[in-house]
Structure formats: structure tokens, C-alpha cells
A and B are shown apart, each in its own frame.
Chain A
Amino acid sequence: DQQVKQNSPSLSVQEGRISILNCDYTNSMFDYFLWYKKYPAEGPTFLISISSIKDKNEDGRFTVFLNKSAKHLSLHIVPSQPGDSAVYFCAARSGGSNYKLTFGKGTLLTVNP
């Protein structure tokens, strides 16, 4: 049972435009959500996060939106740059005793010059 879903395996956008990556989850007990970026031959790196008590968090060109009623979050990148081309993983944290992170399958973003 996949608790964190990234339904788009890939996304292609033009440089300067907005990139929107989506993520859906099923577990109501998730209390914290994170986005990671991964380049080939490197480990994932933390990008941005949001607590379940908020609906928006912004960091420079990156904004994460959380819609708890729809169990949906999205990552907006504005403007997109070629260096943003990478695989993006959505992750959700379980509250409770182990604070486990559950990851989606990832979305490959390609930003074309």
C-alpha cells in the first residue's frame, strides 16, 4: 500500500516558467512533509519542508503548498532553471515514536533552456 504517491514520473518545462510537482498521501497521521532533490550519482538533498499545521512555506524560488483536506501537497519552482533538472522526492513523516519518513517514487523534472 503506497502511502505517498507521486503520480507523474516525469515533467518537462521551459526555462523561466513555473514547475509544479504534485504529491498525494493517504495516511492522516503524517505530520510533516518534505521535498528532496536528487541529481544522478548523488544522494538526495533536502529542499523544503512544511508542517501539517501550515498550508504554505516559501524559500526563495521554491514554495510548498499543503491541502490537508485533499491530502495533497505541491512544490512550485518559479522561475525554473536548467540546474533544477533532477528527480524530486516527496516524503512524509509519521508522528509518534519513530518519526519514520515515507518517500514517494519520485518525479524527474527536466528544465529545457
Chain B
Amino acid sequence: EAQVTQNPRYLITVTGKKLTVTCSQNMNHEYMSWYRQDPGLGLRQIYYSMNVEVTDKGDVPEGYKVSRKEKRNFPLILESPSPNQTSLYFCASGGTYNEKLFFGSGTQLSVL
């Protein structure tokens, strides 16, 4: 089954404790991206990757890091989480031209 898998689904952490949210896709997609969803703000892009070893900032990259060492994986790293990073995060993947983006089920992060 074609899918984007994120882990964990729920995460509660404390300010400053480094964390990683994993994302994996099995569709051989070149394009992968991270979004955060906040009430009243919709989906905002954090980082994206056009292919292995090619990443770039989205609209709200501050406080986040990503890496793309393999085509299928695109982890999101928060080196020093802060409460304003409490949000619902989605990983997505798509073909090169983004005619259709596939989303994971989301990771609800709470930073205390």
C-alpha cells in the first residue's frame, strides 16, 4: 500500500530537549516536505526536499532542521524545541511536479 509514515503520532516533550520526527514514503517520490498546521493559520511549509541531499527552506524554517540522505526518508529535527513549536506536523511526498501530494497521518507535538 502506497503511504507516508510518520512517527510518533503523539509526542510531549520539554523545552530544549532535542527530538526527531521520522517520515518515510514507499512511493519512490523525489519530492518530500514538512508542514505544520496551526489553528487559523492552515498548513505552512517548514522545509522541503527535491531529491536526495537537496533540501531548502519553506515559509517557517526557524528552529527546524531536516536531512535527506535516502530517497525514502525525510526526518524533521528540533534541536532545541520551544513552546511555540507546539503544533500538528505533517510530512508529505509527491512526484517531481507536485501534481498530487500524499500526506502522513500527522504528529501532534506538545512542548512544555
Which residues of chain B come closer than 8 Å to A45, judged between CB atoms? 103
Q: Specify which of B56, B101, B105, B106 is in contact with A101 (CB 8 Å cutoff).
A: B101
Complex Cα gap A101–B99 (Å): 9
Question: For the side of the interface on A, what is the size category?
Answer: 20 to 34
Number of A-B contacts (CB under 8 A): 57
In the complex, whether B90 has a CB less than 8 A from a CB of chain A is yes
Binds B, one of A12-20, A53-61, A103-111: A103-111
Query: Does B28 interact with chain A (Cβ within 8 Å)?
Result: no
Contact of B104 among A6, A36, A43, A100 (CB under 8 A): A43
B80 at interface by CB-CB < 8 Å? no
A100-B48, A103-B43, A104-B42 given; A49·B103 CB < 8 A: no
- Taking A41-B106, A43-B92, A99-B97 as given, write out 14 further A-B residue pairs in contact, using a Cβ cutoff of 8 Å, ordered by the A residue number: A6-B42, A32-B99, A34-B100, A36-B101, A36-B103, A46-B100, A91-B101, A98-B56, A100-B58, A101-B33, A103-B35, A103-B42, A105-B40, A105-B42
Binding site for A on B (CB under 8 A): 4, 31, 33, 35, 40-45, 48, 50, 56, 58, 90, 92, 96-106
Q: Which 4 A-B pairs have the closest CB atoms?
A: A43-B103, A105-B42, A103-B43, A99-B98
